[in-house]
């Protein structure tokens, strides 16, 4: 039916698409120009003399650099390892054992985690970390993030696991393989794309986390980049725009790269399709 | 090699009884086919033997050992799955060698044994490929090779040919028959294709609704179906089954009130089995009916419904009263058929089934 | 949660549950155990703890930190004190702002934008679609402090990109964050979260067999008719699922704080921000928990409502 579309509707498609693209991208344009602009500005303008001076000054701020290249990597990497390991095991176990109502259970857990995992549970999570002596540790942040992200991760992973034919594992069983061996030899290699997707999804979520680290961490040396961004404010409490922009630029790049990676390897979509 | 024994085995899934009180012995070295329509419990029976399901009642024995509650790995069985269950991320070599790897056989010995089996199955050149890179028939051989490498006492096949197209299926059938003669293992082979069962098996077990309907060698099951279900399932086209009454005194079989067959000459044969009951079913294979363009003694009139050339033979479907009767004619030229033709039944080759569907003679 | 899962399915329509386990229960539990521990400690335990805390006067420091007292419903009475609860900076005010925020940015914003874009690009492949989806997804996944910062530059009165464009069109230069703070965060959150609905609805549309649409094309149905008669009925379940999730997320979202700090004069103080302020600025954990309890109860009620609708529509179809 596309062939019959008139020039008018073709023009309409293009206009509509451009409006959408503008809506989503224009608010971010400033982030692309400001880091390369010598003087502080809020306007989007292609700098006449593009400069890397802002980045140099950002790298002089050892606190912010440590936040970005150490703390953020620890937190996001830790949460990524934790969530993908636990979610992989859980979704496999869930899929391969008989447990009535397990679909509903996972769904309810996911709804539950979006309620409890939000701001509502900050107080008990803080107290919990306090009692476990995890305040001001990266481990504490990682554990709390993992708890909140896990249900959704299991939810995503299940579809990858369910897509493996039962006969694969049954054949292995007949030939004498143990459950652990089946998991390592057969199930895991086949759900690796799912593990990758969940790992990246977790990484990106934890990479951007703000509220949980703010609540759980004390020492500025432990803070992630989301908090360290505020170190580019002047004494008077106003942001030095070019530096903030340069830092935000560095902070946002890994997310962009991971997005492109997922999009290239798997196609960014709802993994596993959806059922109604 | 070992025999398999199932005694009063029952398997339920909730309300549904998938396998209903099945008793069956597969002899040492015998090739038995489980045959029946989709959903009749064939796969479940096979999985019970493999240990992938546990029965609700009854016992299962392999060789001299009771295995009813043993896990699959302790049963010493090999299984070929309907979808082959070849692992997409492994080469054929690793797939076929997987049972050996699990058993802890060293890589070098594994490669040697896999190569040997693969040569025999003519997939020796493909061992470095992944399953997705070889044809369906080759995948099927690879899954058989994996079972062979396992060197189990018992082989289980779950419709291994059903995913192949018609031509490949015939080839693979011949290959399996050849292999069976050569290896001579005890095997249970599940299929819904009666021709496949006939071609391959030493004995056929026909199932329906989880129950065994008949056990026998292929010719026996074909030529003397024990009940109307088996009669309608075996043969292509299947046997004609016509509801009828029998009037023994008059020496007649009557169907549809108007149509009669004179059985006076065969009274001896039938009188033992029947009393003058009202409802029976007469069974006759299409090849045991002949057609005459004119009325002759002992024929009944019928309307021609459809004529189908089958190459070297013809299938003529005629209508007798409310019933359709298939007739198979082995000849090259088209049968000269008017609207009405007369059918002669070869009475010596008819079967009479009681109202419970069981064979009467 | 900063952004939601990339994958959503409904609970039913799955027969995998009926398939037998290939492992015994014991081994299954071994695989599940780590997840169960996490869920128990970091989801279930906090849930009940909040209820307990809301009946105490627990604070961060001082005597009531070590020895909190049971204060009954005192925290709730302070929240619902009818004299003052609708004043700026109080609980009722925060709830009312949140309600408008959810309605505006989740239901009217994200769901409508998502459905429109997904529908528009149904069975249209190509560069333009990729571009729209990519920009939408980036808006969704870039760290929240980064987008908040970009938006504060975007909305700047004098030099911000938005006002530059508006001024060029002769539409003046409103001070967005000062004069229209709630509208600003509604638009911001719509921008931020629409990708989820776009992706969900696109996937849902792909599950509709092309033959359904082609049949309608053959009889010459208009676009709107096709939507109303074919797509909408088939997508009702997905729309409800989408609404459940984005409502809950929007209700709990904290990102607007990074843009407005809850101001000016509490005009964008969402319940999540109010909780944060109470618990972590004034360190009144008891009262903060009481707010959280009310918040969770509202959330659970909303979720139940949607789930009942979902079930009803399943039964109907
Ligand atoms: N795991 C199961 N749970 C519930 N019902 C099942 C299960 N496996 C098989 N069945 C049912 O048992 C019956 C027999 O199935 P099966 O043995 O697979 O039949 P066949 O292989 O003869 O087609 C079918 O009705 C099927 O739906
Ligand atoms: Mg089957």
- Where in chain A are the domains? 26-60+233-269, 70-227
pLDDT for C317? 63
Q: Are strands B252-255 and B4-13 parallel, antiparallel or unpaired?
A: unpaired
pLDDT band for position A117 (cuts 50, 70, 90): low
Residue closest by Cα to atom 18 of ligand 1: B43
pLDDT higher than threshold 80 for residue B248: no
pLDDT for B134? 93
Residues in chain A closer than 8 A to B71 (CB atoms): 173
Instruction: Give the residue among B272, B283, B253 at the shortest CA–CA distance from B357.
Output: B283
pLDDT higher than threshold 60 for residue C77: yes
With beta carbons less than 8 A apart as the criterion, state whether B122 and B157 touch. Answer: no
Angle between helices C45-53 and C285-316 (to 10 degrees): 130
pLDDT band for position B170 (cuts 50, 70, 90): confident
Pairwise CB contact (< 8 Å): A124 & C50: yes
Higher pLDDT, B146 or C18: B146
**pTM of this prediction?**
0.82
Domain assignment present for residue C9? The answer is no
pLDDT for C187? 93
Q: How far is the CA of B179 from the centre of ligand 1 (A)?
A: 29
Pairwise CB contact (< 8 Å): C25 & A98: yes
> How far off is chain A from B135, nearest CA to CA, in Å?
19
Pairwise CB contact (< 8 Å): A186 & B83: no
What ipTM was estimated for this complex? Answer: 0.85
Neighbour subunits, C (≥3 Cβ pairs < 8 A): A
Q: Are strands B31-35 and B203-208 parallel, antiparallel or unpaired?
A: parallel
Instruction: Give the residue among A259, A270, A271, A254 at the shortest CA–CA distance from A192.
Output: A271
* First CA to last CA distance, chain B: 38
Higher pLDDT, C169 or C10: C169
pLDDT higher than threshold 80 for residue C247: yes
Which 3 state secondary structure label does DSSP give B62?
strand
pLDDT band for position A269 (cuts 50, 70, 90): low
**Residue B34 CA: which ligand 1 atom is closest?**
22
pLDDT for B156? 93
Best to test chain A binding among B73, B82, B139 (most A CBs inside 10 Å): B73
Most confidently predicted of A112-116, B82-86, B234-238: B82-86
What strands, in cross-sheet order, belong to the sheet with B252-255?
B259-262, B252-255, B240-247, B280-284, B351-353
Mean pLDDT of B280-293: 90
The CATH superfamily holding the domain B4-233 is P-loop containing nucleotide triphosphate hydrolases (3.40.50.300)
Mean pLDDT of B180-198: 89
pLDDT higher than threshold 90 for residue B114: yes
Mean pLDDT of A15-37: 89
> How far off is chain B from A267, nearest CA to CA, in Å?
21
With beta carbons less than 8 A apart as the criterion, state whether B246 and B280 touch. Answer: yes
Domain assignment present for residue C89? The answer is yes
d(C-alpha B235, C-alpha B315), whole Å: 13
Domain assignment present for residue C93? The answer is yes
Q: Which CATH class is domain B240-353?
A: mainly beta
**Residue B45 CA: which ligand 1 atom is closest?**
17
With beta carbons less than 8 A apart as the criterion, state whether B18 and B52 touch. Answer: no
Model confidence pLDDT, tens digit, residues C9-44: 333 333 333 445 566 677 778 888 899 898 888 888
> Please, which residues have CB less than 5 A from ligand 2, an ion?
B 43
pLDDT band for position A270 (cuts 50, 70, 90): low
pLDDT for B90? 93
Range with lowest mean pLDDT among B258-272, C121-135, C226-240: B258-272
With beta carbons less than 8 A apart as the criterion, state whether B47 and B80 touch. Answer: no
pLDDT band for position B55 (cuts 50, 70, 90): very high
pLDDT band for position A6 (cuts 50, 70, 90): low
pLDDT band for position C8 (cuts 50, 70, 90): very low
d(C-alpha A186, C-alpha A180), whole Å: 10
Range with lowest mean pLDDT among A35-44, A218-227, B153-162, C101-110: A35-44
Query: CA-nearest residue of chain C to A271?
Result: C7
pLDDT band for position A100 (cuts 50, 70, 90): confident
Instruction: Give the residue among B284, B331, B283, B273 at the shortest CA–CA distance from B307.
Output: B331
A273: left (phi over 0), alpha (psi -120 to 50) or beta: left
pLDDT band for position A276 (cuts 50, 70, 90): very low
Pairwise CB contact (< 8 Å): B98 & A189: no
Q: How far is the CA of B42 from the centre of ligand 2 (A)?
A: 6
Q: At which residue do the structure tokens 């004619």 appear?
A: B329
pLDDT for A69? 86
pLDDT for B192? 92
With beta carbons less than 8 A apart as the criterion, state whether B89 and B29 touch. Answer: no
pLDDT for A87? 93
Residues in chain A closer than 8 A to B43 (CB atoms): none
User: In which domain, by residue range, is C306 found?
Assistant: 85-316
Question: In sequence order, what DSSP letters do the residues of B295-323 get, joined into one string?
Answer: --TT-EEEEEEEEEE-SSSEEEEEEETTE
> Considering chain B, what percentage of its residues have pLDDT values greater than 70?
96
Model confidence pLDDT, tens digit, residues A211-232: 889 888 888 888 898 888 888 7
CATH code of residue C302: 1.10.3720.10
The CATH superfamily holding the domain A70-227 is MetI-like (1.10.3720.10)
Domain ranges of chain B: 4-233, 240-353
Most confidently predicted of B254-258, B275-279, C173-177: C173-177
pLDDT higher than threshold 90 for residue B127: yes
pLDDT for B277? 64
Question: Which residues are CB-contacts of A181 (< 8 A; sequence separation ≥ 6)?
Answer: A172, B102
Report which DSSP code applies to B261.
E
pLDDT for B4? 94
Q: Which helix (H) or strand (E) holds B215?
A: strand B211-216
pLDDT for C171? 83
b/e burial code for range B101-134 (CB count within 10 A of at least 16 → b) = bbeebeeeebbebbeebbeebebeebbeebbeeb
CA dist A167 to A180, B57, B83, B86, Å? 17, 25, 8, 9
Instruction: Give the residue among C173, C110, C191 at the shortest CA–CA distance from A23.
Output: C191
pLDDT band for position C7 (cuts 50, 70, 90): very low
Instruction: Provide the mean pLDDT of chain C.
Output: 82
Mean pLDDT of B50-61: 92
Cis bond upstream, residue C308 (ω within 30): no
Instruction: Provide the mean pLDDT of chain A.
Output: 83
Model confidence pLDDT, tens digit, residues B63-98: 999 999 888 888 889 999 999 999 999 999 999 999
CA–CA–CA angle B154, B157, B163 (5° rounding): 165
pLDDT band for position B27 (cuts 50, 70, 90): very high
């Amino acid at each position: 039916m596309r062939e019959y579309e008139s020039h008018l509707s073709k023009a309409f498609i293009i206009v509509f698409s451009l409006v959408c693209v503008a809506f989503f991208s224009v608010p971010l344009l400033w982030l692309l120009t400001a880091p390369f602009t010598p003087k502080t500005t809020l306007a989007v303008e292609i700098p006449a003399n593009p400069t890397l001076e802002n980045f140099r000054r950002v790298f002089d701020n050892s606190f912010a650099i440590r936040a970005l290249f150490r703390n953020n990597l620890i937190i996001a990497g830790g949460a990524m390892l934790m969530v993908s390991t636990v979610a992989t095991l859980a979704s496999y176990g869930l899929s391969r054992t008989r447990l009535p109502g397990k679909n509903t259970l996972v769904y309810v857990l996911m709804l539950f985690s979006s309620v409890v995992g939000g701001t509502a549970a900050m107080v008990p999570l803080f107290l919990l970390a306090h009692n476990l002596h995890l305040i001001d540790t990266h481990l504490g942040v990682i554990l709390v993030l993992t708890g909140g992200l896990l249900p959704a991760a299991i939810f995503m992973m299940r579809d990858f696991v369910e897509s493996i034919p039962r006969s694969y594992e049954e054949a292995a069983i007949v030939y004498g393989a143990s459950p652990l061996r089946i998991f390592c030899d057969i199930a895991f290699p086949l759900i690796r794309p799912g593990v990758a997707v969940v790992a990246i999804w977790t990484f990106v979520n934890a990479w951007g986390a703000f509220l949980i680290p703010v609540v759980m961490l004390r020492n500025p040396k432990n803070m992630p980049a989301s908090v360290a961004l505020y170190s580019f404010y002047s004494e008077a409490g106003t942001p030095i725009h070019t530096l903030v922009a340069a830092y935000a630029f560095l902070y946002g790049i890994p997310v962009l790269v991971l997005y492109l990676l997922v999009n290239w390897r798997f196609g960014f979509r709802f993994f596993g399709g959806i059922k109604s | 090699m070992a025999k398999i024994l199932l005694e009063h085995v029952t398997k339920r899934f909730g309300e549904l009884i998938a396998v209903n009180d099945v008793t069956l012995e597969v002899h040492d070295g015998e090739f038995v086919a489980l045959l029946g329509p989709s959903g009749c419990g064939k796969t479940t029976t096979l999985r019970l033997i493999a240990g992938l399901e546990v029965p609700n009642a009854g016992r299962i024995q392999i060789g001299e050992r009771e295995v009813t509650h043993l896990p699959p790995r302790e049963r010493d069985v090999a299984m070929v799955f309907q979808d082959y269950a070849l692992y997409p991320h492994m080469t054929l070599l690793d797939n076929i060698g997987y049972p050996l790897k699990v058993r802890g056989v060293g890589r070098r010995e594994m490669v040697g044994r896999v190569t040997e089996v693969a040569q025999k199955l003519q997939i020796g050149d493909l061992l470095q490929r992944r399953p997705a890179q070889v044809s369906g028939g080759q995948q099927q051989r690879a899954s058989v090779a994996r079972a062979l490498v396992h060197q189990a006492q018992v082989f289980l096949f779950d419709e291994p040919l059903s995913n192949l197209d018609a031509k490949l299926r015939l080839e693979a059938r011949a290959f399996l028959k050849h292999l069976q003669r050569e290896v001579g293992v005890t095997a249970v082979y599940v299929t819904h294709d009666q021709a496949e069962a006939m071609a391959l098996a030493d004995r056929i077990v026909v199932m329906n609704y989880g129950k065994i309907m008949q056990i026998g060698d292929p010719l026996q099951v074909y030529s003397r179906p024990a009940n109307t279900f088996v009669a309608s399932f075996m043969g292509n086209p299947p046997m004609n089954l016509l509801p009828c009454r029998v009037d023994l005194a008059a020496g007649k079989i009557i169907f549809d009130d108007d149509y009669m067959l004179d059985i006076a000459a065969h009274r001896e044969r039938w009188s033992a089995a029947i009393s003058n009951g009202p409802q029976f079913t007469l069974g006759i294979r299409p090849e045991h009916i002949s057609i005459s363009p004119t009325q002759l003694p002992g024929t009944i009139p019928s309307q021609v419904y459809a004529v189908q050339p089958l190459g070297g033979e013809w299938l003529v479907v005629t209508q007798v009263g409310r019933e359709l009767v298939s007739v198979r004619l082995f000849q090259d030229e088209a049968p000269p058929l008017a609207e009405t033709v007369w059918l002669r039944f070869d009475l010596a080759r008819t079967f009479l089934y009681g109202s419970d569907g069981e064979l009467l003679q | 949660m900063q952004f939601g899962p990339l994958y959503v399915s409904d609970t039913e329509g799955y027969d995998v549950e009926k398939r037998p386990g290939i492992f015994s229960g014991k081994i299954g539990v071994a695989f599940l155990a780590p997840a169960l521990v996490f869920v128990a400690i970091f989801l279930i335990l906090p849930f009940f703890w909040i209820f307990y805390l809301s009946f105490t006067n627990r604070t961060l420091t001082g005597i009531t930190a070590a020895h909190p007292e049971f204060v009954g419903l005192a925290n709730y009475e302070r929240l619902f004190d009818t004299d003052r609860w609708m004043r700026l900076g109080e609980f009722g005010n925060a709830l009312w702002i949140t309600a408008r925020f959810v309605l505006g940015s989740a239901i009217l914003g994200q769901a409508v934008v998502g459905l429109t874009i997904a529908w528009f690009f149904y069975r249209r492949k190509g560069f333009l679609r990729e571009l729209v989806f990519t920009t939408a997804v980036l808006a969704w996944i870039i760290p929240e402090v980064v987008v908040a910062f970009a938006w504060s530059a975007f909305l700047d009165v004098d030099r911000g990109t938005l006002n530059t464009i508006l001024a060029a069109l002769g539409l003046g230069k409103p001070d967005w964050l000062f004069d229209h703070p709630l509208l600003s965060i509604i638009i911001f959150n719509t921008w931020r979260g629409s990708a989820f609905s776009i992706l969900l609805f696109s996937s849902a549309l792909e599950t509709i067999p092309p033959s359904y649409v082609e049949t309608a094309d053959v009889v010459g149905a208009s676009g709107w008719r096709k939507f109303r008669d074919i797509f909408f009925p088939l997508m009702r379940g997905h729309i409800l699922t989408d609404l459940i999730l984005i409502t809950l997320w929007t209700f709990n979202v904290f990102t607007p704080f990074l843009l407005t700090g809850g101001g000016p004069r509490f005009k964008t103080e969402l319940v999540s921000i109010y909780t944060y302020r109470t618990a972590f600025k004034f360190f009144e954990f008891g009262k903060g928990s009481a707010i959280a309890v009310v918040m969770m109860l509202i959330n659970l009620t909303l979720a139940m409502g949607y789930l009942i609708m979902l079930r009803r529509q399943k039964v109907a179809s």
